[in-house]
Amino acid sequence: MDTVAVVDLGGQYAHLIARRLRELGVYSELVYPEEVEEDGEYSGYVLSGGPSSVWEAQHDRIVERILASGKPMLGICYGHQLLAKVLGGEVGPSPKPEFGPTTVRVLVRDRILEGFPARVKVWMSHNDAVLSPPPGATVAATSEGSPVAAFWTGNVYGVQWHPEVKHSQLGRELLDNWIRLIGVKREWRPGRLIDELVEYVRRMVGSSTAIAAVSGGVDSTVATVIAYRAIGDRLIPVLIDHGLHPEGEVERVERALGKLGIKLRIVDYSSEFLAALEGIEDPEEKRKVFGRVYARVFEEIAKSTGAEYLVQGTIYPDVIESGGRRGADVIKSHHNVAGLPEKFGLKLVEPLRMFYKDEVRLIGRMLGLPEELIYKQPVPGPALAVRIEGSINRRLVEIARRANAIVVEEVEKAGYARRLWQYFAVVTRSRATGVKGDRRAYGMVVAVRMVVSDDAMTAEAFRPDWDLLEAIMRRITSEIPEVVRVVYDVTSKPPATIEWE
């Protein structure tokens, strides 16, 4: 299968480039600069953006190595400047540094910019710019701060803007044009890899026994079904009842896996988790404490069963947000990635580690999972622990559980569930004055959040009907005595994350 390498030069959107190429049917994977070989097996290379300056000369040799192979290349932002410099163009401080939405003037509507209008609004983020093109190169676009905003020479292309982000108009079309020009085959279909994923688990586990960490979401369920196909009864699917699951979650998971012929083992450790989390205010510390208890529990189960491996449904956004790739900042530690202790007693098996949520859903469909499970909204690993601001206790968990259930029930009744990525309630630390039963009440504030997204890397707040918000507000304030006020979160990601903590 033809594969395109996205060379990760430290840009925050490098992973998105790989994702967009996959969406267009081409398998792509991130590689570090030192992993680039002079005549590798890749059919093409994309150089990502990055925080470096071309004058640091730390990546020139990598570019020269790829150029020597004759393979097609696309440079984006810093990668664009790097290509121009190595090929003999002039790179220097931009006459007008550009950040955010920028209008680009298209000079040549051909090849990589075929089908583009004369002007297009794109997403820029740069201080330096290509001031003059490499000898013999065609300047395809320009902007106020980028005299050479796009160029090509032979099978080498460069663009100053970020076509991989959805803020850039025609970004998908630009990448589609590049794929067409370099002639790679569009053979990527996640569902076609099921046999390879099964073989991966079989090879990893060998003749040993493995535990599958089941949460009830599509990621852990797909990972469990793949592992079950690989090693059969040597897989022990375990759901830890940590006391923080949404209302009815444990029972739903047991029923769903039972229909697939997989017997789930449920172990109650709710007291241990709640005791460990009580008194902890910082959300990042909450995630890490949850991760430590989670690891300890699975190590105990492993000792009692003789298991040596732990199968998890870790997916790529978990890895990125946990700083799992070099150069990626830690946004929040996921309990099954950065939340695990350094000396974890089980060997991890993560068949979905390089997949996005929508790709996992496609694999789930190929596995024959029911639609209600495939499209079940994501719930964070620490569950309601990160939907309660600050320290938690049993009563706060009960309030969060009921408030979340009300949001879910009303959203589904209104018919919005399939349009949304996530919808939930957050028990905030804020207090407000209210009136209940004609008497003053000083009580809690619950925030409601609904977002739309394709992959959880970015998200926009949903604009619901007022009747839906009012129904949610009336139920929460009437069914939960401690709550006097309900607010709606309109913040996108970025600047926020989807979950509050």
SS3 120: strand
Catalytic residue among 59, 77, 249, 501: 77
Please give the structure tokens belonging to residue 251.
Answer: 């029972």
Mean pLDDT value of segment 359-383: 85
State yes or no: is 321 an active-site residue.
no
State yes or no: is 372 an active-site residue.
no
pLDDT for the residue numbered 328: 42
ω before 95 within 30° of 0 (cis)? no
What would the pLDDT profile of 50-97 be if each residue is shown by its tens digit?
Answer: 888 888 778 888 899 899 889 999 999 999 999 999 999 999 999 999
Closest residue by Cα to residue 76 from 114, 106, 48, 56:
48
Please give the structure tokens belonging to residue 373.
Answer: 């499970």
The strand pairing partners of 241, in sequence order, are 268
Distances (CA, A) of 489 to 275, 424, 447, 461, 462: 30, 11, 7, 7, 9
Q: Look at the block and give the residue holding tokens 């630009």.
A: 174
Distances (CA, A) of 271 to 24, 294, 393, 433: 47, 13, 11, 33
Q: How confident is the model at residue 324 (pLDDT cuts 50, 70, 90)?
A: very low
Contact 340, 299 (CB under 8 A): no
pLDDT for the residue numbered 1: 79
pLDDT for the residue numbered 299: 87
Tell me which amino acid residue 405 is: A
What would the pLDDT profile of 145-170 be if each residue is shown by its tens digit?
Answer: 999 999 999 999 999 999 998 889 99
Distances (CA, A) of 210 to 124, 238, 304, 309, 485: 47, 10, 12, 4, 47
How many Å apart are CA 303 and CA 437, to the nearest integer?
55
CA angle, 90 then 92 then 96, to 5°: 125
Closest residue by Cα to residue 411 from 455, 451, 445:
451
Catalytic residue among 162, 242, 245, 334: 162
State yes or no: is 77 an active-site residue.
yes
How many Å apart are CA 311 and CA 463, to the nearest integer?
38
Which range, of 115-129, 202-216, 321-335, 347-361, averages the lowest pLDDT?
321-335
Tell me which amino acid residue 478 is: S
pLDDT for the residue numbered 205: 95
* CB neighbourhood size of 238 (10 A): 22
- Pick 345 or 304 by higher pLDDT: 304
pLDDT for the residue numbered 394: 92
Sorted by where each starts, the structural domains of the chain and their CATH numbers stand as 3-182 (3.40.50.880), 190-374 (3.40.50.620), 393-488 (3.30.300.10)
Catalytic residue among 164, 389, 410, 499: 164
Checking if the pLDDT of 228 tops 90, the result is yes
How many Å apart are CA 147 and CA 129, to the nearest integer?
7
Provide the phi-psi class of 6: left if phi over 0, else alpha when psi is between -120 and 50, else beta. beta
How many Å apart are CA 150 and CA 171, to the nearest integer?
13
Mean pLDDT value of segment 438-461: 88
Q: What percent of the chain shows pLDDT beyond 70?
A: 93
* SS3 of the chain: helix, strand, coil, percent, to 5: 35, 25, 40
Phi and psi of 187, rounded to 5°? -110, 0
Which range, of 9-13, 365-369, 460-464, averages the lowest pLDDT?
9-13
How many Å apart are CA 479 and CA 496, to the nearest integer?
29
DSSP 438: T
How many Å apart are CA 18 and CA 195, to the nearest integer?
22
